[in-house]
Amino acid sequence: MTLLPVDAALIRLLALAKPVTESETLPLDGCAGRVLASDLAAKLTQPPFDSSAMDGYAIRTADAHADARLKLIGESAAGHAFDGTISPGETVRIFTGAPVPKGADAVLLQEDAVRHNDGTIGMTFFPEPRRHIRPRGQDFREGETVLKAGSVMTPTRLMVAAAMDHSSLSVRRRARVGLLATGDELVRPGEPRAASQIIASNTFAVATLARDCSADVTDFGIARDTMDDLTGKIAAARATGLDVLVTLGGASVGDHDLVQRALKNAGMQLDFWQIAMRPGKPLMVGSLGDMIVIGLPGNPVSSMVCSLLFLEPLLARLAGQPAPKREAEVIVAKALGENDKRRDHLRARLSRDPQGRLVAEPFEKQDSSMMNVLAQAGCLVIREPFALPMAAGETARAILLRDPETP
């Protein structure tokens, strides 16, 4: 059986993906990380008036000279404008963010002002016109398109959307992802289990990864290893209008690996199955109508490595966003033997050397069932098919699982 190279498999998977275009309207505070569905224009001008950038005195620069004794005629504070006009020889106490009164053309810094005993204001610095005044509309103007359709709503874009007086936004809906674990041996954490049963743990990693990619994730539970149960659960999941169905387990060649058969019976067009990678060889991809199906292998490490290499870029594509950049160059801390035909992904401890370079130390045991090792690993060192032996201290590409500084 020829195995499909990783890069070719990813290209074929992404060819199935159409970015989600349907939109929904959400309150602004629910829009973080979402993609704007249409251009967003300002509903107001900001600042709405010439405003002071400093605490001080609103003055007429024609009055700015060493002998000035300006008469204090009022105050303009943020939210409380001074209604009158400043005439020659007059000033108004002003605070940061307050409207600049009519007649004034500069703000004298409080630190540059002298308050005389008779209450008049003198100055030790003579501002030029417009000094410390933020002109009306210098940030944006009513009707101006500030955010383009397709922009991801980052904290700073949420800030400007709020400032433009939008309390809700039209954003693209999230990609809908369903997870279906399979296997008679599986129970959920906390459930009673027989001696031959284990916990269905993979769902938690895959769901988290998918949510981090902005997906709306539904867990469809655990299907037993029967055609009936699998068929019923696949149909129920599909009926919810998923963009992507991810099955976990039952992807290999054993007598109880029924997932592919059940999916084909339901009408799935198989796109590819079995990749030249370790772990994750039995990965399967197909389409069932508009729904993309990804069959992950059951071994926990395999399911996670396949999710990082395939599910994450797929969900980024559906969300119209670039895939997270996880690849980095690392120094391998120990010698590695030559590789066989499957691209390998070695779980490794990750640290920094005194020069700040990333150092990866592959774990001794690389069994794809070992979640404890995977949880300790900071990266996966990539070994291309037929890679030659490597000495300690050489560099390799790696997939980062987390920031090396994360405890």
Ligand X SMILES: Nc1nc2c(c(=O)[nH]1)N[C@H]1C(S)=C(S)[C@@H](COP(=O)(O)OP(=O)(O)OC[C@H]3O[C@@H](n4cnc5c(N)ncnc54)[C@H](O)[C@@H]3O)O[C@H]1N2
Q: Which parts of this chain interact with ligand X (CB under 6 A)?
A: 181, 183, 185-186, 198, 200-203, 248-254, 257, 279, 281-282, 297-300, 302, 368-369
- Residue 279 interacts with ligand MOO (CB under 6 A): yes or no: yes
Q: What angle do CA 364, 366, 372 make, to 5 degrees?
A: 90
Closest listed residue to residue 285, CA positions, set 296, 298, 294, 275: 294
* Nearer CB in complex with ligand X: 297/362: 297
- Residue 378 interacts with ligand MOO (CB under 6 A): yes or no: no
Binding at 322: pick from ligand X, ligand MOO, none (beta carbon under 5-8 Å per type): none
* Nearer CB in complex with ligand X: 304/316: 304
Pick out residues in 292-321 that bind ligand MOO (CB under 6 A). 297, 299, 302
Stretch that binds ligand MOO, among 18-26, 119-127, 140-148, 277-285 (CB under 6 A): 277-285
Closest separation in Å from C-beta 377 to ligand X? 17
Closest separation in Å from C-beta 257 to ligand X? 4
* Nearer CB in complex with ligand X: 163/370: 370
- Residue 347 interacts with ligand MOO (CB under 6 A): yes or no: no
Distance, CA of 312 to CA of 281 (rounded, Å): 17
For 377, half-sphere exposure in the C-beta direction (CA atoms, 13 angstrom radius) is: 25
Binding at 186: pick from ligand MOO, ligand X, none (beta carbon under 5-8 Å per type): ligand X
Distance, CA of 364 to CA of 359 (rounded, Å): 16
Q: Which residue is nearest to ligand X (CB)?
A: 298
Pick out residues in 170-209 that bind ligand MOO (CB under 6 A). none
Binding at 217: pick from ligand MOO, ligand X, none (beta carbon under 5-8 Å per type): none
Distance, CA of 26 to CA of 246 (rounded, Å): 27
* Nearer CB in complex with ligand X: 300/313: 300
Distance, CA of 236 to CA of 267 (rounded, Å): 14
- Residue 368 interacts with ligand MOO (CB under 6 A): yes or no: yes
Task: Report phi then psi at 112, rounded to 5.
Answer: -100, 10
- Residue 56 interacts with ligand MOO (CB under 6 A): yes or no: no
* Nearer CB in complex with ligand X: 142/185: 185
Binding at 252: pick from ligand MOO, ligand X, none (beta carbon under 5-8 Å per type): ligand X
Which residue shows structure tokens 């994730």?
217
Cβ atoms of 343 and 335 within 8 Å: the answer is no
The length of the chain in residues reads: 407
* Nearer CB in complex with ligand X: 46/299: 299
Binding site for ligand MOO (CB under 6 A): 278-281, 297, 299, 302, 368
